[in-house]
A and B are shown apart, each in its own frame.
Chain A
């Protein structure tokens, strides 16, 4: 079969130890693609309403993408899926590295676990033989140690996904690691893996992944690569702060072309945004209370892009990526090799906590990766705890003597260690800011910066209201990887998908805050497109090149032999969105409960800085968005007939 996908999944019941292969009909892939779509279809059917996310009925899946391994570029992302212990609704998180092709090379598009094992185990698949093995000797080990031990045991081209102590300790902000500390971090699915006592998935396979039209795949990839390799020299690292300041000062804004972002991404990785984002108002500061005035270029200078890549020893490329935004850095002392900290991590542990110490950010990035804990949520929760301390809601008695003040690097370091170990105050905070606030009380809930329990990422909706809309309306709330006004501009979908509007090239910034119909169309298009992306296993950074330069729809047709139009693929994206929302409704989630806190909406507006005076009227934006999916615009619930129609397939 040469259709890009493998056409099979593996089911494992950890309670009984039963392992079985299951053939997936072609119709499933044509209706939902692979990856996210295939998972949305299966998990909707297989997880009963009300199932405990940390109980035996939850299903945890490791899925590859339809385009992974087909000769396409940027398609090395895999996804972990399951019912989220954070939102009690749909959960997913994806990650790069080299795991995605390994799933398919074992012969499967996805590996799905249910049940709970009596003792710690790991799944080993080698040359067609799948078996559960004892993981007693691995329990308690960090993600890097675990991976190294398992690769040594298995040999050859072996890839590992595993949890660290955070997942074992059932932290709701834990993720799943692969390639030595790259984390599928969000939705808290590390805790689901921990609850199943599944320490790792170890994959050694060499099956061929075949596209229907390999020559067309390569031709499309070569054309795409030309854009990726176009790399004029760019300004120095600290000058990015000045670019950010310029973008802040100008009353108007230009629609962004993703080529510019590609150039700085290839040079620095996501560190390119470290200073620019603060200066332009994209980065939340001081638990969303502050601004660029509180954490200006001098304070952020230690994490300027040049300072970050000074430690880079080699660029890191995920599987099938011609860009290479990652980097392997070396730290003095304990960690001679570490992944370059991403923008999200730098800001969550930096500006959000008013921490200027770059050394601590490098170190904590590695510590969190090894623990398997989400660095965004960890930073957000620390910032929340600091605010509680500064306001006297938490005292030194509560913090085990820690002086939790803004920018106190040593206290932040110690607090994160405690969160990983669930020790003292760390136990209170190990599930993210929402759950901590519920236990702390005393009015702390209003400064827990989360959406549906998912701690907010480092992109401020008061600068780009598209972010805050997606944080609030998505089945997986609090995500920066789905949509924004900026993303719509960079995706350039109007160039390939009929009927989508082209945004103005130059516009007054005030227009960003108008909750008009067109913004809703942009947002719905982002959600649909990103669902297609996640069905294909594509990287968002590839998609930022623009839909003409990144031939996602053409690759999908060439890989599968289908003849679908871009509009039909967008329809599939919409179908996946409705399925994910239906999953949430089935499990009792109220979509409106995902709305971000007032502070993130600028109610009360900031009195200084880049986002001074900005308030977002999110209600009409949400209504417009939900209506465009054909859902009830007041409640956000998909219509029953739509859900029934979706269920009939397969």
Chain B
């Protein structure tokens, strides 16, 4: 089950511009639709929609949240194993790997490289096996 768009949609295109996998189709000022095979359930469309026209995969109507208040990943380097899973999980590629921490600690760690691009999906936290990523 993917997200769906209801008749409340006014075709503003906000969701289409944000969708990281080009899963939303539709003409401007006309009702949009989500291509189920492409949708990855990131929920960005629901958070951005000013009309409350998006229903999540559980059938709940998504509420618009001001983008500055979307939760962002926070990384705990003490738990992190530098395994790259969170970086790969990010559908917008906004997580980068830092340079080596120091000569004694030659490991790089994930960090939010492009905060503006983050869509707050939480996939990075969801996929981290060791709980080193938290959304806040």
Contacts and interface: CB of A to CB of B under 8 A. Distances in A.
Interface in A303-348: 312-315, 317-322, 324, 327
B93 interface: yes
A315 B129 contact: no
B36 to A, nearest CB: 11
B65 interface: no
A225 interface: yes
Contacts of A72: 129
A206 B106 contact: no
A71 interface: yes
B85 A320 contact: yes
B85 A127 contact: no
B81 A314 contact: no
Contact of B84 (A206, A207, A318): A318
Interface residues of B, number: 29
Contact of B88 (A101, A225, A313): A101
Contact of A128 (B38, B81, B93, B107): B38
B123 interface: yes
Contact of B108 (A101, A156, A217, A314): A314
A504 interface: no
A222 interface: yes
Contacts of A105: 88
B48 interface: no
Nearest to B91: A206
A208 B81 contact: no
Interface in A192-225: 205-208, 217-218, 221-222, 225
A127 B100 contact: no
A189 to B, nearest CB: 24
A430 to B, nearest CB: 35
Contacts, number: 88
B63 to A, nearest CB: 23
Q: How large is the interface on A (under 10, 10 to 19, 20 to 34, 35 or more residues)?
A: 35 or more
A317 B14 CA distance: 37
Interface string A398-415: 000000000000000000
Interface string A243-272: 000000000000000000000000000000
Given A73-B129, A222-B129, A208 B41 contact: yes
A206 B121 CA distance: 12
A324 B130 CA distance: 16
Given A208-B40, A225-B129, A229-B81, A319 B88 contact: yes
Contacts of B64: none
A71 B130 CA distance: 9
A205 to B, nearest CB: 8
B84 A315 contact: no
A510 interface: no
Nearest to A220: B129
A25 B106 CA distance: 45
A321 B84 contact: yes
Interface string B76-111: 000001111100101111000001100000111000
Interface string A46-76: 0000000000000000000000010111001
Given A157-B93, A208-B40, A127 B22 contact: yes
B20 interface: yes
Interface string A284-311: 0000000000000000000000000000
B40 A324 contact: no
A37 to B, nearest CB: 24
Contacts of A217: 129
B127 interface: yes
B8 interface: no
A98 interface: yes
Nearest to A101: B88
A86 interface: no
A273 interface: no
B87 to A, nearest CB: 8
B102 to A, nearest CB: 11
B58 interface: no
A228 interface: yes
A209 to B, nearest CB: 9
Contacts of A156: 92-93
A321 B80 CA distance: 11
A12 B102 CA distance: 46
B70 to A, nearest CB: 18
A322 B91 contact: no
Interface string B1-42: 000000000000000000011110000000000010110110
Given A157-B93, A225-B130, A315-B100, A207 B40 contact: yes
Contacts of B90: 157
B21 A222 contact: no
A376 B69 CA distance: 53
B106 A314 contact: yes
Contacts of B85: 71, 319-320
Given A128-B38, A222-B129, A315-B108, A322 B81 contact: yes
A311 to B, nearest CB: 12
Interface string B112-136: 0000000000010001011100000
Contacts of A206: 20-21, 40, 91
Contacts of A318: 84
A73 B82 CA distance: 11
Interface in A573-598: none
B107 A314 contact: yes
A327 B100 CA distance: 11
A225 B81 contact: yes
B99 to A, nearest CB: 6
Contacts of B106: 312-315, 327
Contacts of B92: 156-157
A225 B36 CA distance: 36
Interface string B45-76: 00000000000000000000000000000000
B111 to A, nearest CB: 14
Interface of B: 20-23, 35, 37-38, 40-41, 81-85, 88, 90-93, 99-100, 106-108, 123, 127, 129-131
9 smallest A-B Cβ distances: which pairs? A322-B81, A221-B129, A206-B91, A314-B100, A157-B93, A127-B22, A218-B129, A156-B93, A127-B21
9 contacts: A71-B129, A102-B88, A128-B22, A207-B40, A218-B130, A222-B129, A222-B131, A319-B83, A320-B83
